[in-house]
Structure 1
Amino acid sequence: MKLKPYSIGYRTMKTAAGAAVAIYLAQLLQLDYYVSAGILTILCVQPTKKKSIRAAFSRFVASLIAIAYTFVFFEGIAYHPAILGILILLFIPLLVSLRFSDGFVSSAVIILHILDAGDLTLGLFLNELSLMLIGFGTALLVNMYMPSIERRLNAYQVEIEHLYSKILNEMVVYLRNGSSDWSGKELMETAELLKKAKALAYQDVENHVTRLENKYYRYFDMREQQFEIIERILPKISTMPVMVRHSGLIADFLEDLSDHVHSGNTAHRYLEKLEVVKKEFADMPLPDSHEKFLAMASLYQVIEEMDSYLEIKQSYKGFENKKTAGSF
């Protein structure tokens, strides 16, 4: 079995630094169970800022509920392992119903501290509260720094545009020659790349607390919708029974389109060109055989699909400060 390359990522470094700082601060304040501050920090360092904030809130609330449960069960009944079992048995379903289940491990740390102390005093309560504030607070602070992923997003964008251009060109080849030795590998590459790009763009959204979406996520979502249309168009082109004069008309349009694939948006120009294509298509002679009729019907469906393709791009605002001449 091949081992993965050894590497230390940003999250690992932040977790290590956060745990060390949290333990140091708790020790500096002479808190009991000070090492637990490091555990609480480790539990709260998440892949994104929003996830880290949600994790800290969930764990803080769960820990406060846990303290209330220990008061009822330990102070009300007894400090005994059997009572701990009953407490956990009733505590977990409550966290699940409140959607704070991810806070169980951190709250379990607090519960065990109180069980070990054998007496829930005001001093112990303040001690545990301080541990939570230091542990969760440190995690939030170290997670405020997130490395920029815009360069990777831009690389995905460029590669997707290149693949779209290649696919459109392969359509042109088939329309002009009636055959093609294209393997279609760009289709699989595009589908995989769109999946990765959208996931990375969503991560970028999660790293901005007040942002609900970003320009790259909208862009990749738009390209994904266009890709669905491309997948519908390809069979219509590749299964045409015969080549007709109309094929060249569509091929010229697609070739022009393939030369101007980038993030800017002047799709309205191509919608106007497509209207011209529709008119020229309608003015061409009617088919004189069943095969030609089927071919023309397929080509007209391609035109209609391309209309939808361009409408999707027109509804997209595009990137600022990007080239826009002739783009779609």
Structure 2
Amino acid sequence: MKMYRIGYRTIKTAVGTAVAIALAQGLGLPNATSAGILAILCIKPSQKKTVVSSLHRFVACLLGILFSFVFFEGLGYSPVVIGLLLLFFIPITVMLRVEEGIITSSVIILHMYLGGNFTWLNIWQEVQLISVGIGMALLMNVYSPKNETSLKEIQQKLEAQYSQIFIEIAAFFRDGRMDWNGEEITLAAECIRKGKELSLRNAETYTFKNRDHYYHYFTMRDKQFDILERILPTVSRMTVTVRQGDMIADFLTQLSVSVHPGNTAHVHLERLEKLKESLKRTPLPVNREEFEVRALLYYFITEMERYLDIKKEFKALKDISKSKSKRNDAREL
């Protein structure tokens, strides 16, 4: 039997709901349990989603009070009027893009219906009820656990796989040895999948700060992974080793120790350019087999240039992201 584990969001929901109801009862508000319902509905997995959900529900609830006044006071308190009200109310919330608040605002509408008349006291009590429920949800999500440590571990594991892939390809270029089982390819793909999924959740955790650099990082590695998957079949088609293969093997060995988030792409691009020039100065192939290998080598170099260009683009994007983050932090201060 699988053991059930109580998650952090479950604890926040339980505590937030209980406190919201207790606070509403302490204020002497009727229908105090509705504050708990609002808290349950507004507590989301991340700060950003909670703020958006709370805003939508608050606007929809205020809109529900306004519609209740117009329809109930204008047409009377009857089930038919409730149906007529919803017939207009729901399309308006959809048009305003606050349809997430339809359920909670419907509860408020029914409160006004059961009250049988409109008074400023009733309106004030409903606004208090809404504020308590939504406010408690926001308070519960002031702190949300971050995934920075896990993301760092996945990042380091992924870089280790990339480094080993380059070492294995270098070994093939150097002496034609290909006894590699390709395990690192599978592990790298899994790291990218987990990294993108976790980094997306991590970015959503922050309400205002720009903390999506991990997602950009794993997206960058995903694009590079596509290139690695393309070049591996090309490498395996090389049936002979040539002197140029040693040069590329040396380059890959250097690259294998430089797989990290830092910006060294420009250094390796310069090395590739020198490598291309060196290949141009070597004697022409003497037979068809060497010609095919030389063509595959040029293809390999071209793909590696794309691989490094992707890293350069990521570094530029990272700098922009840092700049936005600093501006947001300055606003908060």
User: What's the TM-score once normalised by structure 2's chain length?
Assistant: 0.87
Q: What amino acid maps onto 1:173 in structure 2?
A: A
Out of 78-87 and 91-100, give the one that drifted further. Answer: 78-87
User: Do residues 108 (structure 1) and 106 (structure 2) align?
Assistant: yes
User: Do residues 23 (structure 1) and 21 (structure 2) align?
Assistant: yes
CA distance in 1, matches of 2:38, 2:169: 56
Counterpart contact for 1:202–1:213, Cα < 8 Å:
no
User: What's the TM-score once normalised by structure 1's chain length?
Assistant: 0.89
Q: Which has the higher helix share?
A: 2
CA distance in 1, matches of 2:228, 2:104: 49
Q: What amino acid maps onto 2:172 in structure 1?
A: Y
User: Structure 1 residues 244, 139: closer, same or farther in 2, change over 3 A?
Assistant: same
Counterpart for residue 327 of structure 2: none
- Aligned with 1:229 (options 194, 214, 227): 227
Question: RMSD in angstroms over aligned alpha carbons?
Answer: 2.2
Structure 1 runs of 4+ off > 6 angstroms? none
User: Do residues 295 (structure 1) and 293 (structure 2) align?
Assistant: yes
CA distance in 1, matches of 2:93, 2:176: 63
Counterpart for residue 325 of structure 1: none
Counterpart contact for 1:241–1:292, Cα < 8 Å:
no
User: How far apart are residue 110 of structure 1 and its match?
Assistant: 0.7
Counterpart for residue 324 of structure 2: none
- Aligned with 1:186 (options 171, 184, 204): 184
Counterpart for residue 323 of structure 2: none
User: How far apart are residue 176 of structure 1 and its match?
Assistant: 3.6
User: How far apart are residue 298 of structure 1 and its match?
Assistant: 1.4
CA distance in 2, matches of 1:82, 1:186: 66
Aligned residues: 318
User: Structure 1 residues 115, 189: closer, same or farther in 2, change over 3 A?
Assistant: farther
- Aligned with 2:248 (options 247, 250, 255): 250
Counterpart contact for 1:265–1:316, Cα < 8 Å:
no
Structure 1: segments with no counterpart, 5+ residues: 321-328
Q: What amino acid maps onto 2:243 in structure 1?
A: R
Counterpart for residue 261 of structure 2: 263
Deviations 1:214-253 (A, max 9, x none): 4323322322232222222222212335443322222221
User: Structure 1 residues 291, 97: closer, same or farther in 2, change over 3 A?
Assistant: farther
User: How far apart are residue 71 of structure 1 and its match?
Assistant: 1.8
User: How far apart are residue 179 of structure 1 and its match?
Assistant: 5.7
Counterpart contact for 2:13–2:40, Cα < 8 Å:
yes
CA distance in 2, matches of 1:80, 1:295: 84
CA distance in 1, matches of 2:74, 2:190: 58
Deviations 1:122-176 (A, max 9, x none): 2111111001111101110110111232111111111110111122223223334
Q: What amino acid maps onto 1:124 in structure 2?
A: N
Out of 97-106 and 289-298, give the one that drifted further. Answer: 289-298
